[in-house]
Every structure is written in C-alpha cells, then in structure tokens.
Chains A and B, each alone.
Chain A
C-alpha cells in the first residue's frame, strides 16, 4: 500500500501529454520583459536605468525586503525601458524591458556541463548564495527559498522533504527535470540538507512517474541520507501540508508553518536551482516550462529564459490552435487563465496549458443539492459549500471561524461539484476579505 495524505483528494485524468518529451532550450527572444514581482512578498527594487548595458546573470533588481527575491538579467543587451507590463497577475506591473544583443554571460558563472559533487560551504554561506541568486520556490507558489532555509528561533528542522509529486494534470516539467538532471538535483538536495543542518531527506514522487522513481532510487544510493518515497497518485499531494502528511505522517496544525512539525519542503526544481547557484554561481534566470494541451501540435518541455513572452513558447509548440478557449498559466487545477499572449514567463510559470473551447467553458451554475461531495474531497477538512455561502452573504467573521484561511485553493471542491458551483471563486473572495479584515485589525 503506497503512502498518501489522510483526508479528501481527487484523481482527475492525468493527461501528461509531454511526459516523454526531452527538455529543449528555447531560442532567446529579441526583447524580454522581466517583471520585478515574480515572487511572493515585496517587489524587487530596480537597479538599472534606460540604456544600461547588462550581461546574463547581472543583478538588475534587488530584493525589497526580507520576504522578497533578487532578480537577475536573463539576457545580455541594453535596457530599453522600465515600464508597466501585463504579467501573470492579470494586471500591469513594473517590469524591466531589455533589448537582447548576443548572449554574453557574467564572468563569475561557470557554464560547463560538468557535475560538481563536492562542496565545502557552511550553512550560512549556502543561505547567502541562495539569497543572492534570487531563488524562489519553483513549484508555483514562488516563496523566497532563503526564508524557508532560516527556521524561526525556537524551531528546528528534522527532515527535508523534496516535492517531486507534480500532482497537477498535464504538467511534466518537474518529471523531466528529475529524469534529466537527477545527479545535479541530488547534489542540490545535499546542499539544502547542509544549509538546514538535517541528516535526512525524502523525495516524494507519485507512482505515475515510475521511471523517475526508479532512476532517482538508483542514483540516491550514492548520496547519504536521501531516500525516495513513492506515493499513491492523489491530487493535491503536491500541497506542502498534504505532502508532509503523506511522507512522514505528521499533520501541520491550522495556521502554523511546516517547521512546527520539524519539516521543510522544497520543490525538485528549487533543488536544481540551488545546485546551480551554489556550485556554478548561476543565479535563477531560466526554468523548465511545459507547454501542453489536447489540441497543441507539439506539446513539450522547454528550458526558457525569464521574461520571454509566452507567445514565443506557443510558436515553438506549433502555434496557437484554432479552437483555443483559454490559455492557462500553470496547471488546470490551480492555474490561472491569462488575458494576453504577451505575458512574460516568470519564476512561477511551471506550465502553459491551452484548453480547447469545449473544455474551457464554464457550465451553468445549478443549486446546491447538499450532496457533501465537496466536504468529502476537501484535503483540509473544510466545508466548501458553507464557506461559499458565507462569502456570498459577506459573513466574513463567521467564515474566519470556519477556518477559511486554511484553504489551499486546490480546487478539488469546484472540480467535484455536480451542480458546477463556483465554490473556489467564492472561497477565494472570502479569504481575501478575511485577510483584509485581519490586516485592518493588526493595524488598529
């Protein structure tokens, strides 16, 4: 019996169309749009101005607070201007626009492909390198990684859990990375273990990626303290709290961080980025993005520089299909529909999913029949039908008591609802209002 989390969960059709497509490097575009807020937390402060010459890997915006991340130039060329550009948030926000000229890298970066296994850094040095490289959680939440590596006083990490679950249907970028960059990733995990001063690390992988489980199990024998944990296929296992429950059987209490149960979770992509930052001095300037969809001609996985418009990626996958209904940034469950194809790829873009019209359209909203399916599938043990009604009626105090803030926005409730009710839309609204209420309270 394979391990999984305790409550709820669903199993949507996997549709991993690009699972056997090797990672290709996408050509550098003529112009890139690098948003300054690609992470959770304060936006980065721009350091360059118009007509400045930049090299690949040069710092162009520095972190604007403790919970924030540095941003480096993904290309070499001349800064065209700093302007507002529509990004994945659906709003125009500050971005640095660079006209590309050649591909000249910063001298400090080691561009060789050679695997560098040994490292001799202290925990503090590693954290400093991770922070300088602007690494954020590459699973999609984009939480600055250096913050996670510094447990608050009075807490101690016992185990590092590496998230190779990729429970979202369609997406395959982490899967491909685990197959193609396994050694680098394992070194990255060792570096993270050193930084956190833990002896043990578990890589959680869902059982639908048997090749990755096999490959990593074989390689991890050479690395001390790293084990691979195969998991039952169940969405949303990639959620931090669900993964902890599945791998070590501990439940994170409501409102606390994973460190409360001694666990720290990092994504496989983050582990690879940490390897590159520490061993090769390479800041986070590119990532693997899956481009997929049922009507896409050539679904695939591309290594792509940040700031490249997604239209370039769509062209590489054989162009925009005629019956396109929605373009989604991220996976089908938690991703967000994008309003233009000029949106640049950012640190949190794990995939671009093109949905045909027929599948993308919303069905008619029907009345709640009290079947309690949403309660059954909620991995956080909440009552989505109730939270939706409370948000609709603006009863925000009550929804706070019903623990609306524990919702991880996995969308299992909306997926399973036989009446097609927009449960998550309203729960998000409730979370938003309760968040605003709490902020107002703390200011008082």
Chain B
C-alpha cells in the first residue's frame, strides 16, 4: 500500500517539475517585450474606448503615445489637456495645450420653420433616408431628425428635442470625441472651440441653396445674403456656396452679425442678454440647466433599459 502512495507522489511531482522546467524555458524563449510605460499611459487615460482620438481604443492610443517622438499630433479629446499632461509626465515628453472643443448642431429647422413636404416611412435611420433622397422637407441639407447622432454618443451628451425634432448637445457632458460628427450623414454637426466663458457665435445652417429656394424651404436658413460678411470688421466671416461660415478663431464675439441676420440663422450661445436693445433679444440660448442634463440622463437610461429588454 505504502509503495503505491510513494510511487504516485514521485510520479506526480516529477511531472510537475518537468512541466515547470518546460514552462520556464518557454517563457524565457518566447518572451515578448512590452514597454511597461504602455500600461502606465493606459491607466492615465479615461478608458472610454470611444475612438475620438482616431484609434480603436485607449490601449492602441497608449501604444501610439509611447511610440511617437512627440505628442503634437496625438490628443485625447475626452480627457483633454489634463490627461495629456499626465501622459506627457509618464513619458517625459511635452504635451501641447489644445483648445477644448464642443460639438454644435448647425441646423435650426424646427417643424414651424421648415415645413414637411413628403413623408418618410421606411426604417428610422438617417443614413437610409439620406441615401434615398434629400429628406422630408424641401431642404436637402438639413437635419433629418432620426437621431443617429444621439445613438452614436457614448457620453449621454445628446438628446432629441421632441419639440424642434433636432438633436441638442449637453455642453457639460460633450467631450468632442467626434462620434456624432462621423455618424451624421448630412455633416451638420461641427466641432468648434468652446471659446471664452463657453461663449460662441456660429451659423446654425448648412444649406447651400440659393437664397430663394433656401428661404422657401426653411424660414431660418442662411440665404447667403452676405449682410453678416459686410458687417464683420474682423474678417471672420466667409461666404461660400450661398452659405456663411464664421471662423471661431477670428471671431471676437462682437455680435454685430447676429443682429443683422435677416433670417435669424446666426446663433449666439451663452452670451449675456443685451441691455441696449429695445426689442427683446432674439435668441440667447441659456446654458443648459442641470435638470436638462438629468432629463438627458434619464432618457438614455430608459433607452438602455429598453435595449436590454429587447435583447432579453
């Protein structure tokens, strides 16, 4: 009996010892050297894996950061300058400060301004509709209102306004990762610098139609009248294809273009309400209140619930 036990112990332990030797040899022979800094950089990143940096995920971005000679062309829009500073610290390189950006929706065509001329009844997907025709209204450039950008957002920073049927961006939560810009088949969403005190002025329209058809299709369209261009002293406004564009770098937020725009296509965001003007200010969009963010969160929570339900 004893002999059997001893024989077993000897056999099993010798197998164990041989396996250990083979494994040790293999681990030495096939060792892959991985820069330990990749892990360190990765831990400094937000781990959102959103793809906003242009890489498939945070790990790939970390690898690129370690490999790169300088960090000028690499930027994590989610983490922003703070994250890039800590990445730079790990790697002993310099990070260039980049201006924080935010997504803006350049369409103002709510149903009261932009009448529907047709009805789209296929699958509710912006790209499908875009591939089929110009859209339900006479404006072929504007928002289709089916919310593909909202689905693309990983940060709960967007929701569809049921009244205007347009997407709204919750500025505080937007990380400027660019997922919505990529998702929109009409190229309506643009990443713009946040600006001083989050103040911005931009043309909320992308219609390249001539004045007449543009105005007929949507009463708040940019008609390319060039009044803003003439008014601007800072050379910040360009008119191309009957569409005005305000350069965010050159714009000094003087607001003169906003008051001359005959169709209210130019928006000012987060600017104080004007005092001198006798008439009530046209459109000063207040910074989204906290409850709005809550609503967005709740909505998205509901959505994910629904999605899970449907999966189950």
Residues in A lying within 8 Å of B, measured CB to CB? 84, 86, 89-92, 336-337, 339-340, 361-362, 365, 422, 425-426, 428-429, 432-433
Contacts and interface: CB of A to CB of B under 8 A. Distances in A.
A91 B134 contact: yes
B132 interface: yes
Contacts of A91: 133-134, 140
B132 A429 contact: no
B127 interface: yes
Nearest to A338: B133
B131 A426 contact: no
Given A90-B134, A428-B131, A361 B117 contact: no
- Top 7 A-B residue pairs of the complex, sorted by shortest distance between their CB atoms: A90-B133, A422-B123, A339-B118, A362-B121, A91-B134, A425-B122, A425-B123
Contacts of A337: 132-133
Nearest to B152: A394
A361 to B, nearest CB: 7
B152 to A, nearest CB: 10
A340 B216 CA distance: 15
A426 B131 CA distance: 11
A428 B128 contact: yes
A429 B140 contact: no
16 contacts: A90-B133, A90-B134, A90-B140, A92-B134, A92-B140, A92-B209, A336-B132, A336-B133, A362-B122, A365-B123, A422-B122, A425-B122, A426-B123, A426-B128, A428-B128, A429-B125
A349 to B, nearest CB: 16
Given A92-B209, A426-B128, A429-B127, A361 B121 contact: yes
B256 to A, nearest CB: 32
Contact of B117 (A339, A365, A425, A426): A339
B124 to A, nearest CB: 10
A336 B118 CA distance: 14
A428 B213 CA distance: 30
Contacts of B140: 90-92
Interface string B102-128: 000000000000000110011101011
A293 B241 CA distance: 40
Contacts of B117: 339-340
Contacts of A336: 132-133
Interface of B: 117-118, 121-123, 125, 127-128, 131-134, 140, 209, 213
A361 B119 CA distance: 11
A50 to B, nearest CB: 15
Contacts of B209: 84, 92
Contact of A339 (B125, B127, B131, B133): B133
A23 to B, nearest CB: 30
A127 B213 CA distance: 42
Contacts of B134: 86, 90-92, 339
Nearest to A424: B122
Contacts of A433: 127
Contacts of B132: 90, 336-337
Contacts of B213: 92
Nearest to A90: B133
B121 A425 contact: no
Given A92-B140, A339-B117, A432 B122 contact: no
Contacts of B127: 429, 432-433
Nearest to A362: B121
A432 B126 CA distance: 13
B133 A429 contact: no
Contact of B131 (A84, A86, A340, A432): A432
A137 B47 CA distance: 54
B128 A429 contact: yes
Given A337-B133, A339-B118, A340-B117, 18 more contacts: A89-B133, A90-B134, A91-B140, A92-B134, A339-B117, A362-B121, A362-B122, A365-B123, A425-B122, A425-B125, A426-B123, A426-B125, A426-B128, A429-B127, A429-B128, A429-B131, A432-B131, A433-B127
A438 B162 CA distance: 37
B179 to A, nearest CB: 12
A336 B140 CA distance: 17
A426 B118 CA distance: 21
Q: Which residue of B123, B125, B134 has the most chain A CB atoms within 10 A of its CB atom? A: B123
Contacts of B118: 339-340
A90 B128 CA distance: 13
Nearest to A336: B132
A425 B120 CA distance: 12
Nearest to B183: A394
B136 to A, nearest CB: 9
A439 B221 CA distance: 33
Contacts of A340: 117-118
Nearest to B133: A90
A339 B133 CA distance: 8
A399 to B, nearest CB: 14
Contacts of A432: 127, 131
